[in-house]
Chain A
């Protein structure tokens, strides 16, 4: 009989997670290269069948308090708007499917945020001071007065000093948000040929958070939450009255 409670609860958890995604997107709306989070909608069927499996086991009731990460978070890979900054180390990628790569030596993060600068050792770094991956490892540049060509070659006073290596995730759909504008590709990455790279110097890609989408999602999730809490309330009332009536007998 508590099924209705659990179904309504799943819906409430779902809207809570959607709210969290919206709040992350809104807070990061001005973060360069940010990709908005989406809570992947589960079909009602899969939610219910999950419920059945769980209900069959004796620990069902307790495990229904769904953990926040149970619903997969996906990232929206729509490109953001490009704005020109005129700074030569502000880079944007024209092709939708390629990414810059940042690494701390053990792991590779993909990002579209090309707001690069030199650190104190002259190494080209991106977000959180993580080194940018070049064709030959870290990119050590003699100065910040460089030009970057469309295929990612970096030239300092007429001399080629390195080249950016762009990557593409093997499976775009499985990309996960790591932190800030950084993304992780659990399926691995493959390098993009320099001839296919389309880097634009002096340009930055904005966050792809879209105010109207977020507002719509806010409206729908708050109504969903409201109606589900009504369901819970009326069901609770119904149960209460049933128990009362049974007591009268």
Chain B
């Protein structure tokens, strides 16, 4: 009976964690290129060692109890009219330089020119393409093939400053989310580089941004389900508690 109490308590915890993740998703509905997160808790109710000793399931590489996953489905692309906004249509990520020589990958293409002239991600990290916008340059534009142009001071025609390439992963779901719309990859992950529009990638959508891929109705439905499952689990806790009380009171006097 204590078992039932603990299991139902874990059930309550699971729903609470799902609610946390759902709240995070809902809060990021308006975040550029946010990817819906979910948790995998299939291992949460396992008791070590697993059923039948030798049959222990994946005991050597048992995954942690709670795994955060994200849904790599693309979000809708909408026009913003801002010249430094780009959206990646189709597969691929823009590479960003992180501190410590690490590379981050992002689909949030709301770019900016930093005060030192470097073209940077909205979080302030410079792009790996290392594009410097000279002082006095105007009309900085990103073209659909990923090249960045600007009209330099005293010139009439635009000059190409650099080229943004896309990093394409065979399995984007193996990436790890580290906040600010930036993902990181394990060192040995397979990736290919391509100019937008080549090697199976699509051209960049210029002056546009990718929305989050969160579907409000689906989140609402799972919110309702979560609440009901929470209720069911709390009922089980109550009944288990009642039964324990009953057996404790079985001997009167």
Which A residues have a C-beta under 8 Å from some C-beta of B? 12, 15-16, 19-20, 22-24, 26-32, 86-87, 104, 107, 109, 113, 115, 117-120, 122, 127-130, 142-145, 157, 178-182, 184, 211, 214-215, 218, 221-222, 225-226, 229, 232-233, 236
Contact = CB atoms under 8 A, between A and B. Distances in A.
A180 B46 contact: yes
B250 interface: yes
B73 A31 contact: no
Contact of B51 (A15, A143, A179): A179
Contacts of A229: 246-247, 250
A214 B235 CA distance: 10
Contacts of B42: 31-32, 113, 127-128, 180-181
B188 A120 contact: yes
Contact of B174 (A24, A120, A142, A180): A120
A26 to B, nearest CB: 5
Contacts of A24: 7, 45
Interface stretch (B54-62, B118-126, B139-147): B54-62
B73 A87 contact: yes
Interface in B204-253: 225-226, 228-229, 232-233, 235-236, 239-240, 242-243, 246-247, 250-252
B90 to A, nearest CB: 9
Contacts of A225: 243, 246-247
A211 B231 CA distance: 10
Contacts of A120: 174, 186, 188-189
A179 B46 contact: yes
Contacts of B4: 16, 19-20, 22-23
26 contacts: A12-B247, A16-B243, A19-B4, A20-B1, A20-B3, A20-B4, A22-B4, A23-B8, A23-B236, A24-B7, A27-B7, A29-B232, A30-B14, A30-B229, A104-B57, A117-B171, A120-B189, A179-B45, A179-B51, A180-B43, A211-B232, A218-B235, A218-B236, A225-B243, A225-B247, A233-B252
B50 to A, nearest CB: 5
Contacts of B1: 16, 19-20
B167 to A, nearest CB: 14
Given A19-B240, A128-B58, A26 B251 contact: no
A27 B247 contact: no
B246 A28 contact: no
A87 B188 contact: no
B20 interface: no
B15 interface: yes
Contacts of A233: 250-252
Given A22-B4, A127-B42, A232-B250, 6 more contacts: A12-B247, A23-B240, A26-B229, A26-B233, A30-B229, A86-B73
A218 B40 CA distance: 27
B11 A143 contact: no
Contact of B233 (A27, A127, A236): A27
A128 B62 contact: yes
A218 B57 contact: no
B56 to A, nearest CB: 9
A58 B17 CA distance: 52
Nearest to A89: B173
Contacts of B8: 23, 26-27
A38 to B, nearest CB: 15
Contacts of B23: none
B57 A22 contact: no
B183 to A, nearest CB: 14
Given A120-B189, A214-B232, A20 B7 contact: yes
- Which 8 residue pairs are nearest across A and B when measured between Cβ atoms? A27-B11, A180-B42, A143-B170, A23-B4, A118-B171, A23-B7, A23-B8, A29-B229
